[in-house]
């Protein structure tokens, strides 16, 4: 039976509730009066339920679709302004004991070279990332208790936080590792991780079990309940997501929002982020084998409705998506993107990895350098941000959410974005990007409405110009 606050997977992600929500949405998708009411409710910026969200998503009326996008853009602008937070994935190991049929790291794939970075190689990779200008990483590993145990992950996090190279520093390490025990989540918390990220892939149990035929990940309940264990262990910021294309998008979209509602109701704080990856080509993987692949149009609509349904949750898009797809997603709701990413183990320090030795998890569609991404964002009027302040100031979980909901967070995000951009321009950018970035910083400082914050931010920015680093609100 559906129970939002249960800790049992099949109760909070209840199949009957998902199916009946989709049925309700199909029946009402052309009920314009009802849908206009949903949009009216959404204008309070307090989110909408999974049932309302799927109904809005399935509505075929062109005018409603346009109003939905317009509201998503408005919410994006009011909560996140024109700031886009940048990060990079760092692949530590691609050893994996699981058999996920959509991922080239599955244990049966013999064409891919298996690698695990040594601590010395991690230093090389992180120095290369610091030299690009990155301050925020997402660690990625396959699941392999022998080749990649939790102690290795903890040691790697410690190594990363302690690398000080020129003016570089990794200030926030997010972690995307397999579902694990409360005890291990406590260890990750103690190691100072930012967000714990784990994608559900699909919420449909039957389909999940077919896609994960072997290995520990085949246990649907254990995987689906992972965020409950992480939050019970004290990790405040968790990131969820599905791999669109594995199952019907209607099912997974509804499940994703039910998961968010469950975390909010049960732990007083919803997910910190939602990621929206789509299945894409990789070694041994052909997206055409997956009949549920979604079109660009549906993908954009999903992003817009998610923005409306969970206004307080950051949304992430990776370099799987092309430049033009990312451009549209940014307008509709995405607030974080990766840049200059390598999805292979050891790909930053050794870009020359030969094809036959390649160990990448998926093909990146957006292959531009971080500087090209920063320049592109600036050209479009965004402020590229390398901010990591909240986690370092202890603003996590419900403390963070309260600030966000009260609208106060903008007094931190906006100046922090400008200050971290200034660090980037001073230390890493090309002349062209620096010129454009400096102009935007000057203009945006004037847009800070709180005079005390404006004065402080202006002073900090001149201190950065004079060689000092790491200021934050």
Interface with ligand SF4 by CB under 6 A: which residues? Answer: 85, 96, 98, 100, 103, 105-106, 142-143, 178, 217, 385, 387-390, 409, 412-413, 416
Q: Closest approach of Cβ 359 to ligand SF4, in Å? A: 11
Complex with ligand SF4: residue 217 or 278, whichever CB lies closer: 217
Complex with ligand SF4: residue 208 or 249, whichever CB lies closer: 208
Q: Closest approach of Cβ 78 to ligand SF4, in Å? A: 14
Q: Closest approach of Cβ 37 to ligand SF4, in Å? A: 32
Q: Closest approach of Cβ 411 to ligand SF4, in Å? A: 9
d(CA 278, CA 317): 10
**Mutual orientation of helices 182-190 and 150-161 as an angle, nearest 10°?**
10
CB 391 within 8 A of CB 172: yes
Q: Closest approach of Cβ 97 to ligand SF4, in Å? A: 8
CB 338 within 8 A of CB 103: no
Complex with ligand SF4: residue 17 or 252, whichever CB lies closer: 252
Please tell me what DSSP assigns to residue 113.
P
- The gap from C-alpha 93 to its chain's centroid, in whole angstroms, comes to 20
CB 412 within 8 A of CB 400: no
d(CA 215, CA 99): 6
Q: Closest approach of Cβ 79 to ligand SF4, in Å? A: 10
Complex with ligand SF4: residue 21 or 385, whichever CB lies closer: 385
Complex with ligand SF4: residue 98 or 325, whichever CB lies closer: 98
Complex with ligand SF4: residue 38 or 97, whichever CB lies closer: 97
Residue with tokens 């993987």: 285
Tokens encoding 329:
């997603």
Cβ neighbours, 10 Å, residue 238? 24
What phi-psi label fits residue 375: left (phi over 0), alpha (psi between -120 and 50 degrees) or beta? alpha
CB 166 within 8 A of CB 129: no
- Nearest Cα neighbor of 359 from 122, 140, 207 is 140
**Mutual orientation of helices 15-28 and 50-58 as an angle, nearest 10°?**
40
d(CA 80, CA 459): 24
Complex with ligand SF4: residue 324 or 450, whichever CB lies closer: 450
Q: Closest approach of Cβ 4 to ligand SF4, in Å? A: 27
């Amino acid at each position: 039976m559906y129970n939002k606050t249960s800790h049992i997977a099949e109760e909070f992600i209840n199949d009957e509730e998902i199916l009946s929500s989709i049925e309700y949405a199909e029946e009402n998708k052309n009920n314009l009066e009802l849908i206009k009411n949903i949009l009216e409710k959404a204008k309070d910026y307090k989110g909408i339920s999974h049932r309302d969200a799927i109904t809005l998503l399935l509505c075929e009326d062109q005018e409603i679709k346009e109003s939905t996008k317009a509201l998503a853009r408005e919410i994006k602008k009011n909560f996140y302004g024109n700031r886009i937070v940048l990060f990079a994935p760092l692949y530590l190991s691609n050893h994996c004991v699981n058999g996920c049929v959509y991922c080239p790291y599955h244990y049966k794939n013999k064409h891919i070279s298996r690698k695990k970075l040594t601590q010395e190689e991690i230093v090389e990779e992180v120095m290369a990332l610091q030299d690009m200008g990155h301050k925020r990483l997402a660690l990625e590993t396959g699941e392999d208790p022998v080749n990649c145990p939790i102690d290795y992950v903890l040691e790697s996090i410690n190594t990363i936080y302690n690398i000080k190279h020129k003016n570089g520093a990794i200030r926030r390490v997010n972690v995307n590792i397999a579902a694990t025990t409360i005890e291990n989540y406590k260890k990750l918390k103690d190691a100072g991780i930012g967000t714990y990220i784990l994608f559900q892939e699909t919420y449909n149990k039957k389909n999940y079990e077919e896609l994960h035929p072997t290995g520990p990940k085949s246990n649907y309940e254990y995987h689906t309940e992972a965020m409950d264990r992480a939050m019970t262990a004290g990790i405040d910021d968790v990131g969820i997501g599905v791999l669109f294309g594995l199952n019907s998008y209607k099912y997974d979209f509804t499940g994703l929002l039910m998961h968010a509602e469950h975390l909010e109701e049960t732990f007083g704080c919803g997910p910190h982020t939602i990621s929206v990856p789509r299945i894409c080509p990789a070694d041994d993987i052909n997206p055409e084998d997956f009949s549920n692949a979604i079109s660009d149009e549906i993908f954009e609509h999903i992003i817009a409705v998610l923005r409306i349904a969970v206004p307080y949750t950051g949304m992430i898009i990776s370099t799987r998506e092309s430049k033009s797809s990312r451009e549209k997603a940014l307008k509709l709701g995405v607030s974080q993107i990766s840049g200059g990413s390598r999805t292979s183990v050891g790909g930053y320090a050794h870009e020359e990895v030969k094809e036959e030795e390649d160990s990448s998890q998926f093909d990146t569609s957006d292959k531009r350098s971080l500087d090209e991404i920063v320049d592109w964002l600036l050209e479009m009027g965004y402020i590229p941000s390398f901010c990591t302040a909240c986690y370092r100031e202890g603003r996590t979980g419900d403390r963070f959410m309260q600030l966000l909901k009260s609208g106060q967070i903008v007094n931190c995000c906006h100046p922090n974005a400008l200050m971290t951009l200034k660090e980037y321009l001073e230390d890493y950018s090309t002349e062209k990007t620096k010129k454009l970035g400096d102009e935007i910083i000057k203009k945006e400082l004037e847009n800070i409405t709180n005079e005390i914050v404006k004065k402080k931010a202006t002073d900090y920015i001149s201190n950065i110009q004079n060689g000092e680093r790491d200021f934050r609100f």
